[in-house]
Structure 1
Amino acid sequence: MDWQKGERSQNVEIDSGRGGGGFGGGRGLGLGGLIVLAILGWVFFKDPTALLDQGGQPGQGAPTGQVAQVDPQQRDFVSAILGSTEKTWGDLFAANGRQYADPKLELFSGGVRTACGLASTAVGPFYCPGDEKIYLDLSFFQELKDRFGAAGDFARAYVIAHEVGHHVQKQLGVFDQVQRAREQGAPMEGANGLSVRQELQADCFAGVWANRSEQRLHWLQPGDVEQALTAASQIGDDTLQRETQGNVVPDSFTHGTSAQRVKWFKAGLQSGQVSSCDTFAGAL
């Protein structure tokens, strides 16, 4: 992936460590079952870090985090990918008579304080609708390669684009619609739950970005798409459950199977159309 072609975003921030939350031993919980806990928490409309935080709540003397140490090239990469999503979604919203509000992306190390509560590196990359920010510890990219076998720039770009997909959902009112459906008794977990449908739509939106950015920048190289598909397949509920607990429990699915994640990313990638991403209607 010739990511240097990407437009640079001005919305990448680096956590100073002053607002971070320390979570001693949090990483030992294992990424397999916690890869996107913070997103899950907001799908369920509760503080996601309740499953991790034993060190106090915001404003109650929670320990400080670390100043994020960011390699300049890695920051440039994140800025290029985020900038390309801003261009893609800005154009798509404008074509439909709407204005897209760019999200912020904060790079952190160890732990971070957000409008959604405290979060540790163990939760993986996540989007917080409360402050409309994406949070990313760059060490996740190494884990994506080492543990999940998803190496390469486009695999990393897919991760960022998926989180941006959640911001697009916030802009489109999907989070509010899911909230109302939940209050009316719609199931969240399970193979057909709203959580799965919301996550698969974010995958599809990532595919839309991949299609549109490639049309504009011509930056993909042989093997890049396969990198993203590998990343999507390795973080499916069935794959993660099989790895961490030895069996698959569809009733507890929150993100969709590996096959579904690949399917919906490809749906957006092949069409480049938001209309291809209605995961809330019909079979998945």
Structure 2
Amino acid sequence: METRELRYFVTVAEELHFSRAAERLGIAQPPLSRAIAQLERRLGVTLLDRDRRGVALTDAGQVLLDEARAILDATAAAARRTRRAAAGTNRLTLVTKAGAGHELLQKLLDAHAAEPDAAEIDVVLCGLGDQARMLRDGRADAALMQRPFDSLAGLDSEDLLTEQQVAILPAGHPLTMRTALTMAEIGDVPGLPVARWPRPDGTYEPGPGPEIHDQSQLAQLIALGHTMAVLCASSRSWLWGAHAAVPVTDAPHVTTVLAWLPDNRSRAVAGLVRTATRL
């Protein structure tokens, strides 16, 4: 299979419409249809069901879609890493989700900068759950992630900090007078539902709480008294005067880790990992 064919197939599978896919790819529809048909003949399977109602993925097509995305990400990552190696610059990209504990990040950056021949670090802020994807497609060399929220499958990691969780509430709410709360108490507060975070596939668990897309949205909704959230204790660093934090005694502890791909041979990444190990 050629990467061009896989790119064509992924686009059709995402659009489920040949005309829109052809427009997105910048080609005419007939050669796109021929390329997909040739791919199906080569594999000996039907990837797409086509009828008057439209286009739908078969079970085989869903499998190839998942595999093709991984292949295209890997080829893009290989190109990025190759160009970076050819440039010969002593720098790396560290990705972390926006709103993650900046005190720990600053401590890591300061400790690393004090090392002899330390690499320059570009910090990139990402959305929820994007770190692993950016590591695998070559946009990042290392990532700050949180267990148990982020999946570390297929990654190497070094633990940096383990901390309890706290409930972030609107200031002045009766629960802010408490010294501690439990998960059961948090889940049964009239008029103050718990915010819902996206799952790895981008969907949300059903529930009354608002769907959260980023930290700014969450902070605003809590301040307005429309929701609450359970976050790691270091989240106190970004609280406004309109927020309050109360420890949640039975919430699972959160461990922030430095993660990287196990086959990474970058000296810059190795230096950052050594710093993290000492921390």
TM tier, smaller: under 0.3
Identify the structure with the greater helix proportion.
1
Identify the structure with the greater strand proportion.
2
Normalising by structure 2, report the TM-score: 0.25
Larger-gyration structure (1/2): 2
Normalising by structure 1, report the TM-score: 0.24
